[in-house]
Structure formats: C-alpha cells, structure tokens
Amino acid sequence: MSVVQITNWRITAGRNVDFLALVSEAKKIHERLGGRVRVRQATFAGENAGRVAYVIEHDDMMALASFGQKMQADSEWQAFVTKAFGPNPSATLMSNAIATDVVLP
C-alpha cells in the first residue's frame, strides 16, 4: 500500500525563485534516497492559492521507515536542512502529513 509524505508551503512574497531552487535541490536528494517526488502548486484554491505541496511517495510503511533512516544519516540532507531552514526562509511550512491509500470495496 502506497504511503506519501505531504508538506504544504506558503512561499514568502517575492521568493518564488529561491523557494523553487531549494525544492529542486531537495527533490534530487530525496530521489537519491529512494523516494518518488511530486510537486504541485494550488491554482484555484481560495486562500490556499499559490501554496505548494511537496509529496514524497513510498511503496509501503517499511520503505518510509527506511527512507527516514537514510535521511537522518545523509550528510547532504543535513547540510540542506541547515541552509533551507536558516534565517529568512523562502517559505513557511503550513502543514505536514503522512497519508496512505484508501482501499474501496
């Protein structure tokens, strides 16, 4: 059963280019560590318009757990986090979730 990690971001005004550069860098790291990354921006979403959903998909919970262990041990990811979440960030984290597929009858 597929498992996804979903983070939703509100980009700081005027910082789209900075934020998307960081997203591109994060995507490369996450894919190297085994995740499948999708990035979507809300278009028709009322007050949520412009927010970005960064989604990492895994085959199952075991794959998610393995991915988490790899991230904790990865020096490139640790350096990225320090840079991306330092002073004057290009976006604000609005929500973070883990979701699984719903099996319908």
- 17-62 residue pLDDT tens: 999 999 999 999 999 999 999 999 999 999 999 999 999 999 999 9
State residue 103's pLDDT score: 85
Strand stretches in the chain, DSSP E: 3-11, 36-41, 52-58, 91-100
Q: Over 90: is that where the pLDDT of 1 sits?
A: no
Instruction: Specify the pTM.
Output: 0.92
Give CA–CA dist 29/77, Å, rounded.
7
Go through the domains of the chain in sequence order and give each one's CATH number: 3-100 (3.30.70.100)
- Cα Rg for the chain, rounded, in angstroms? 14
- Cα torsion 71, 74, 75, 80: sign: negative
Give CA–CA dist 67/62, Å, rounded.
9
Give the single-character DSSP code of 103. P
